[in-house]
A and B are shown apart, each in its own frame.
Chain A
Amino acid sequence: MKRSTIIDIVNTALAEEFELDAAALTPETHLRDDLNLDSLDYVDMVIVLEKAFRFKIEDKQQLVNIHTLGDVYNFIESMRDQGIVRQEDQERSA
């Protein structure tokens, strides 16, 4: 699973959930300051990411340092590298 595929899936999922312009999303985009997402939105963000990548984030403490979209991409990549997100599922989702 390439990083570009991860970015596409994340951007598409978040754009749909939070009514965002997917084309305007960059790794530097700040979830709170730029997208106005709050703690309630973070709950839903986790749900849509779990659904998009077909995995469960068991330890929500892993998310406390996610502030930008780039952090999200990196987090999903780490899940991929740990084998928590399976390659074939990602490709099917994509």
Chain B
Amino acid sequence: MRRERVVITGTGVVSAFGAGLDACMNGLFAGQSAVRAWSAPEHIRGLDCRVVAAVPALPPPSLPRDLRRGMSAMSHFAWLAAEETLAGLDAEARRSTGVAIGSTLGSPATLQLFFDEFLQSHDVSGIRSMVFFKVMGNTVASNISMACGCCGRQVAPCAACASGLQALGLGFEAIAAGRETRMLCGGADELHLLTLAAFDRLGAASHHADPLTASRPFDTHRNGIVCGEGAGLLLLENLEIARARNATIQGEIIGFATNSSFSGLAYPDADSVRLCMAAALDDAGLVPDKVTYINAHATSTEAGDMAEGTAIAQLFGASVPVSSLKGLLGHSLAASGPIETAACLSMWQRGLCLPTANLVNPDPRCGTLGHVIEPMPMPYGPVLKNSFGLGGCNASLLIQPYQEK
């Protein structure tokens, strides 16, 4: 099997801080929270969460009608991120670019519109042509392929909150194997009552009222996720292709692994997480003590943080710095992995490692970890990024600063 080097040459983000990588990174590096207070509409009963990390209102996409008619909010976010990521890439280069973009669901807002009408009328004759294009599982990948003129392979991994990081891994594997030379990869999701309600009823949504401290990864007093939305995309390229066009290389992907947990639909287990991280290390040809920083998935749930923390402690001990960005960002679901990977690139660029916000009393049940609780100098070396999804899907990606070798 060929093993081409794969580098990162573009990033784009839409987050609860707004559109653009800079908006997100400037917020994070300033220690600001993107989490806001939220109230369920009065007619909705049984929902207890009071905070969200929603994307602020954005202008509609400046695209011809035929290219935006199949876009729900998640594709809109992804298109903004894609154009930021692909800036400088001409039409011919875009045509040879593949797309791997995942989301946890097709558009839940569109599904709601369908059933609102259908359950009233039991008549489908008025269903608009674009409904299915917004709810199908590859809605984001297909919309972005069309809108951005990308004609390489179209992949739409669906692995719940690991979808975005899994997309990065699948893009990496396709380029490393010599099957593609350039891939636009990442994840996107739109916030909807369905997601809020699902996490709330599973006991996985934060019930803290103060937006600033509602998400507390690894903290003893954490009690759940702050649900969010957004899009995070990275442009991955074969090194030689990137060098030939004098692209700015922001980092290199050196390893990836994804596996499944058999412990239960909703409960990640430390063993499968450890195995996933170990497999990513094997893929990169690294031993654990070469990893200089771990950007954890750590969503602020009791079970998830315990499983991940325990696995990190078992594999890496307490010497590797570990932090989660969800204390400030909330959890943007499929977008979270790519957004947080982009943040790791920014940490190298700015020389500053971001801490886990709101981590005051580390939960000893999460293992003894090298928690980053204050900003510190960013190690300029390999970084492990984790994402895990409901349904037992794990993904781990290893990146490192680019060196010519």
Q: When the two chains form their complex, are residues B66 and A47 in contact, meaning their CB atoms are under 8 A apart?
A: no
Q: Cβ of A56 < 8 Å from any Cβ of B?
A: yes
B 121-141 to A, binary, CB cutoff 8 A, 1 in contact else 0: 000011011100000000000
Q: When the two chains form their complex, are residues A44 and B66 in contact, meaning their CB atoms are under 8 A apart?
A: no
In the complex, residue of chain A having the shortest beta-carbon distance to the beta carbon of B126: A47
For chain A, the count of residues having a C-beta within 8 Å of the partner chain is 12
Q: When the two chains form their complex, are residues A18 and B65 in contact, meaning their CB atoms are under 8 A apart?
A: yes
Q: Cβ of A62 < 8 Å from any Cβ of B?
A: no
Binds B, one of A6-14, A22-30, A34-42, A67-75: A34-42
Q: When the two chains form their complex, are residues B65 and A44 in contact, meaning their CB atoms are under 8 A apart?
A: no
The listed residue with most B CB atoms (<10 A of its CB), out of A19, A44, A50, A51, is: A44
CA distance A38 to B69 in the complex (A): 12
For chain B, the count of residues having a C-beta within 8 Å of the partner chain is 8
Q: When the two chains form their complex, are residues A19 and B66 in contact, meaning their CB atoms are under 8 A apart?
A: no
Q: Cβ of A64 < 8 Å from any Cβ of B?
A: no
Q: When the two chains form their complex, are residues B129 and A44 in contact, meaning their CB atoms are under 8 A apart?
A: yes
Q: What are the residues of chain B within 8 A of A18 when measuring CB–CB?
A: 65
Q: What are the residues of chain A within 8 A of B125 when measuring CB–CB?
A: 47, 50, 56
Q: When the two chains form their complex, are residues A51 and B126 in contact, meaning their CB atoms are under 8 A apart?
A: yes
Q: When the two chains form their complex, are residues B129 and A40 in contact, meaning their CB atoms are under 8 A apart?
A: yes
Q: When the two chains form their complex, are residues A19 and B129 in contact, meaning their CB atoms are under 8 A apart?
A: no
CA distance A18 to B69 in the complex (A): 10
In the complex, residue of chain B having the shortest beta-carbon distance to the beta carbon of A56: B125
Q: How far is the CB of B62 from chain A (nearest CB, A)?
A: 13
Q: What are the residues of chain B within 8 A of A47 when measuring CB–CB?
A: 125-126, 128
In the complex, residue of chain A having the shortest beta-carbon distance to the beta carbon of B64: A36
CA distance A70 to B348 in the complex (A): 63
In the complex, residue of chain B having the shortest beta-carbon distance to the beta carbon of A41: B129
The listed residue with most A CB atoms (<10 A of its CB), out of B66, B69, B128, B129, is: B129
Chain B interface (Cβ < 8 Å from any Cβ of A): 65-66, 69, 125-126, 128-130
Given contact pairs A41-B129, A44-B129, enumerate 9 new A-B contacts (beta carbons under 8 Å): A18-B65, A36-B66, A43-B128, A44-B128, A47-B128, A50-B125, A50-B126, A51-B126, A56-B125
Chain A interface (Cβ < 8 Å from any Cβ of B): 18-19, 36, 38, 40-41, 43-44, 47, 50-51, 56
Can you list 10 A-B contacts (CB < 8 A)?
Answer: A18-B65, A40-B69, A41-B129, A43-B128, A43-B129, A44-B128, A47-B125, A47-B126, A50-B125, A50-B126
Closest 4 CB pairs of A and B: A43-B129, A40-B129, A44-B129, A47-B126
